[in-house]
Amino acid sequence: MQLRNSYMFYTSAIKPDVCKRIISHGLSKMIVDESKGVSRNASTADGKEKGGTDSKGKKVIDKPTGGATKETLAKKGIDGESLYVRDSEVSWLNDKWMYDIFHPYIHHANAHAGWNWQWDFSESFQFTVYHGRKENGGFYGWHADGSSDYKSVYRAAVRIKDGNESKGIKPQFKPPKRDDKGFVVIRPDGKPEPDMKAADIPTKKSGAHAGKKRFKVCEEIRPTGSIIIFPSFTYHCVTPVTKGTRYSLVLWSLGKPWQ
C-alpha cells in the first residue's frame, strides 16, 4: 500500500506533569498485576521474548537480536529465529482520562495524513518500560503489529498457531472474541481473546525494510511527551536502550473492514 504520509508526529505534545502521572500509574499497575499473579514481562505472539518459549515448547537462546534485521544477522552467520526479539516490561491501562487525551490526536492524524480510515474502537493502552544497560539494554526488534491486516477483515487478529517461513507454512490467525456489546474481550495478560469458532483470517505477505536507505530514525519524537501515529502494518522497532529508562505508551485503534 502506498501512503502519502507513513506517519504523523506531535513533538512534546504531552505536558511533563501528565507524563509523570502516566508513568506513575503504569508502574503502580505493574505492582497490582504481580500481586494477582500477572507477569510484567512483555511477550510476543510467538514466544520470542526474553526467556520465552514458542508453541512447541522450545526456548529462545538467551541472546538478543537488538535492532538488527534477519538479513544483517544472516550475513554474520547468526540464525535470528533462535534469538529473542523483545526485552521490556508492560502493564495495561484503560482509564477514560487517558483516552480523552490521545483520541483527538488520532482523529487529527487520520485526517491530516490523508488516511481517512474508519475507526470506532481503541484497545487498552500498553504502558512499556525499557531498562537501559551498557550491554543488552531493553529493546523490541523489527516487527509489524498488523501483520494480519486484510482488506475484508477486522483488526486486531489473534495468532493461534505459529508458521514456518522456510517450509512455506503460514501462521494461523483468528478474529478477536467480542462480548454482547461488541467490545473485544481482553484476557488478564492484556491480549485479546481469540474467537475459536470464527473462520481463520487470511494473512498477507510482509517483510521488514532491510535496505539501508529505507530505515527512518524518528528524531522528531525524542523529546519527552512526543506522540507518533502510524498504521499498524508499518514495520518499526525500538533499538536497545543504553542508559536511563525509556517509557512508552502504545494504543491500537481499529474499526470495521476497509470501505
In this predicted structure, what is the pLDDT of residue 151? Answer: 42
Do 121 and 259 touch, CB atoms closer than 8 A?
no
Among 246, 224, 156, which Cα is nearest to 193's? 156
Q: What is the rounded average pLDDT of the residues 52-65?
A: 83
The chain-wide mean pLDDT, for the chain, equals 85
Q: What is the rounded average pLDDT of the residues 1-26?
A: 93
In this predicted structure, what is the pLDDT of residue 200? Answer: 85
Query: CA–CA separation, 199 vs 177, rounded Å?
Result: 12
In this predicted structure, what is the pLDDT of residue 9? Answer: 97
Q: What is the rounded average pLDDT of the residues 59-88?
A: 86
In this predicted structure, what is the pLDDT of residue 212? Answer: 52
Query: CA–CA separation, 257 vs 6, rounded Å?
Result: 20
Convert the pLDDT of each residue in 141-188 to its tens digit.
Answer: 988 886 445 443 434 567 788 777 567 677 888 888 888 877 778 887
Do 74 and 12 touch, CB atoms closer than 8 A?
no
Q: What is the rounded average pLDDT of the residues 51-76?
A: 83
* Angle ∠(186,86,123) on CA atoms, nearest 5: 25
Owner of C-alpha cell 506513575: 24
Cβ-based neighbour number of residue 65 at 10 Å: 25
In this predicted structure, what is the pLDDT of residue 141? Answer: 92
Residue percentage of the chain with pLDDT more than 70:
87
> Which of 8-22, 134-148, 195-209, 215-229 is the least confident region?
195-209
**pLDDT at residue 259 tops 60:** no
Q: DSSP per residue over the chain, as a string?
A: ---S-S-EEETT-S-HHHHHHHHHHHHHHHHHHHHTT---B---TTS-BTT-B-TTSPBPEEEE-TT--HHHHHHTT--GGGEE-EE-EEEEE--HHHHHHHHHHHHHHHHHTT------EE--EEEEEEE--SSS-SEEEEE-TTTT--TTS-S--EEEE--BGGGTBPPEEEPBPB-TTSPBPBPTTSPBPB-TTSPPBPP-------SGGG----GGG-STT-EEE--TTS-EEEPPP-SSEEEEEE--EE-SPP-
Band the pLDDT of 79: cuts 50, 70, 90: confident
- 16 Cβ neighbours under 8 A, 6+ residues apart: 224, 225
Residue percentage of the chain with pLDDT more than 90:
49
Among 7, 257, 4, which Cα is nearest to 118's? 257
CATH architecture of 8-254: Sandwich (2.60)
**pLDDT at residue 204 tops 60:** no
